[in-house]
Amino acid sequence: MAENKEYIIQQESAGAIQISEDVVASIATAAALETEGVSAMMGPTSGDLKPARKMSAKGVVIEPEEDGLSITLYVMIRYGFAMAEVAGKVQKAVLAALHDMTGFSIRAVNVMIGGICFD
């Protein structure tokens, strides 16, 4: 049975480039987890997710829009780190990784801090 995957399509002069949303989520996850102060990815808390949104297993929501992608990441922060500073670093890391690896226009990178890890 074939998997039903969502693809993000970018039209180029030589044809279309299609990248699976799972690939985009994997890139965003890797960039977030490499950021100092991030402990783990997590799912949204009840009520955080609109019914029209689809979240990957990696704690990432991708919303393709006409002017670019909106990415929302659900993370846990390590105890002792400044949350706003870590979130800002996550935004920059994810934006750079997605732009460099996919070439897609990124409209927004939203970071939702759902918990603190005390390890």
Q: pLDDT of 5-21, one tens digit each?
A: 677 777 677 888 888 89
How far apart CA 100 and CA 89 sit, in angstroms, is 16
- Running DSSP on this structure, what letter comes out for residue 57? T
| Domain residue extents for the chain | 21-117
CATH numeric code, 21-117: 3.30.70.1350
For residue 62, what are the contacts with CB-CB under 8 A and spacing of at least 6?
Answer: 8, 21, 24, 25, 28, 54, 56, 69, 70, 71
Q: Which long-range contacts (CB under 8 A, 24 or more apart) does 15-20 make?
A: 17/103, 19/102, 19/104
Q: pLDDT of 36-93, one tens digit each?
A: 999 999 876 545 544 445 556 578 999 988 888 999 999 999 999 999 999 999 999 9
- pTM value is 0.83
Mean pLDDT of the chain: 85
Q: Which pLDDT score, from 0 to 100, does residue 1 have?
A: 41
